[in-house]
A and B are shown apart, each in its own frame.
Chain A
Amino acid sequence: MIKIKETLRDLQDFYSLSFSGLLGIGRRPFYLKDALLQMDYAGAGSLLIVFIVDLFVGMALSLQLSAELSRLGLKMYIGMIVGISVVRELGPVVTALVFTGRVGAGMASELGSMALGNQVDMIRVFGFDPIKKLVTPRIVSSLIMLPALTIIGVAVSLLGGYYIAVFVSHQSGTFYWSSIRNILTIENVLAGAIKPFVFGYLIACICCYSGLSTKGGAIGLRHSTTKAVVMSIVMIIISDFLLTRLLLYVLGFSV
């Protein structure tokens, strides 16, 4: 019974934080400097790892498709399939997972350490709203930087796919890019572009909540950081499925 009560209270606190954090974007005071610092950490700091991961995902995907499609004599479709997979699905999801590992874990551990060191209480003693001061800048940073990183990640993945298609599978580069251009319809782009905003918001809320609710010293910090990363990953995968289902329906794709 106590466990159920605690879970319900946790859920209530989480929704309250998520809601207040988002509403904080439109309320004074605006902590622009804090948001810019978070954006620098989340965006510029994640660029290299997003580049590497997405490049290799694009290459691996292209390689797998080459192996299968060449058996069927359909190698010319590599560009199209790589394009659809990366733009609609892999680009947003893989970038969000990388973002969780690097930025989300950082948010949870930083806020957890602040909570344990009474720094969050100190912010409250000084009369600041910790959600406005700590959570809102992180939500803003995730809402801006994850979509930006996703655009870069998608471009790099397509480039990786191009390398395999042209230099390993010996396809025409021009045909590869024209296939990509053909699939870049408003529906396909929208199907992939909406996801990073949702993922970014989820990651920021889950990781901030987990960090701020840290208790119990170093073990507690380990627990909250792990929980933040695991919960974010699970929620990214689940919300990806739900979003895909919804977007396919809304954008008029037949399944």
Chain B
Amino acid sequence: MIEFRDVHFSYSSREILKDVNFSVGFHERVAILGGSGEGKTTILKLILGLIRPDGGKIFVDGEDITIKQESQLRDIRMKFNMVFQDGALFDSLNVKENVAFCLREYTNMSEEAIDKKVRRILSTVGVEHALELMPEELSGGMHRRVSLARSLALATPLMFLYDEPTTGLDPLNADNICRLIADLSREGKGFIMVTHKVSDALKVADRLMFLREGKLLFDGNRQELLNTTITDIKAFISETAPRGPSRTQ
């Protein structure tokens, strides 16, 4: 379980998160909604211990990660698979080497076994044809699929963390990524997806949160979100929510 207790975070003099409280089980399918610069990505980075809060406590699996040293955070981070908004693929490595990165560093697998595993993972996310391409040759959708494949290579995590996985993609690609996210969460593995696209959040998440000016304004299910009376959220949804039933659902 992930638990935020009165978490406060500021960057320079700007307050990003103000006393945020929530807890999420590893099996839950959560979407954190909010506009740009509201602190959504900050929450993911705080969960992984990539940044430290100015105040409050963050517990992952019962351990307070705010007091841990960098070297002690490795085991915490291995519980998650993170997919950054831009994919964060290593520029200097091709797709195959990106996916094989952790296998080479952490295992003694033979070249043949690595090649076989990389091909299998890439075919899972539908980009097996991109094996030899460099990151700059990939489209936005492929970038994120390869990033997902890379995070799947080493071990199955307890939970996935997605940072704006569909932002900047055309509707077809965005739908494919949502389907992939839904597929990966079928074996009881939850995820936290941060996004400003309400339609995508409604497609894949069971629990939705809404961040506004550093505060958690809403925490509930789809129906509660759509029926909310909070003006800020209603305005946000009316701008981005889908008009009809979604395909992934």
Are B86 and A125 in contact, CB atoms less than 8 angstroms apart?
no
Does A118 lie at the interface of the complex (its beta carbon under 8 Å from any beta carbon of B)? Answer: yes
**Within the complex, which residue of B80, B85, B89, B105 is in contact with A125, where a contact is CB–CB below 8 Å?**
B80
Are A122 and B88 in contact, CB atoms less than 8 angstroms apart?
yes
**Within the complex, which residue of B78, B80, B82 is in contact with A122, where a contact is CB–CB below 8 Å?**
B82
Q: Given A125-B48, A126-B101, A128-B105, A117–B91 Cβ distance below 8 Å?
A: yes
Which partner residue on chain A sits nearest B81 by CB separation?
A125
- Taking the closest CB of chain B, its distance from the CB of A21, in whole angstroms, is 14
Are B91 and A124 in contact, CB atoms less than 8 angstroms apart?
no
- Taking the closest CB of chain B, its distance from the CB of A33, in whole angstroms, is 9
Interface size class of B (residues with CB under 8 A): 20 to 34
**Within the complex, which residue of B48, B85, B91, B102 is in contact with A113, where a contact is CB–CB below 8 Å?**
B91
Are A127 and B74 in contact, CB atoms less than 8 angstroms apart?
yes
Does A114 lie at the interface of the complex (its beta carbon under 8 Å from any beta carbon of B)? Answer: yes
**Within the complex, which residue of A119, A121, A125 is in contact with B91, where a contact is CB–CB below 8 Å?**
A119
Q: Given A113-B91, A126-B102, A129-B71, A121–B77 Cβ distance below 8 Å?
A: no
Which residues of B, 45-93, contact A by the 8 Å Cβ criterion? 45, 48, 50, 70-71, 73-74, 77-78, 80, 82, 84-86, 88-91
Which residues of B, 27-51, contact A by the 8 Å Cβ criterion? 45, 48, 50
Are B105 and A119 in contact, CB atoms less than 8 angstroms apart?
no
Q: Given A114-B91, A126-B101, A121–B71 Cβ distance below 8 Å?
A: no
Chain B residues near A121 (CB-CB < 8 A): 45, 48, 50, 84, 88
Which residues of A, 72-118, contact B by the 8 Å Cβ criterion? 113-114, 117-118
Chain B residues near A125 (CB-CB < 8 A): 48, 50, 77, 80, 82
Which residues of B, 117-154, contact A by the 8 Å Cβ criterion? 154
Are A119 and B88 in contact, CB atoms less than 8 angstroms apart?
yes
Chain B residues near A122 (CB-CB < 8 A): 82, 84, 88, 90
Which residues of A, 207-249, contact B by the 8 Å Cβ criterion? none
9 closest A-B pairs by beta carbon, nearest first, are A118-B88, A127-B74, A122-B88, A118-B84, A125-B82, A121-B50, A119-B88, A125-B77, A126-B102
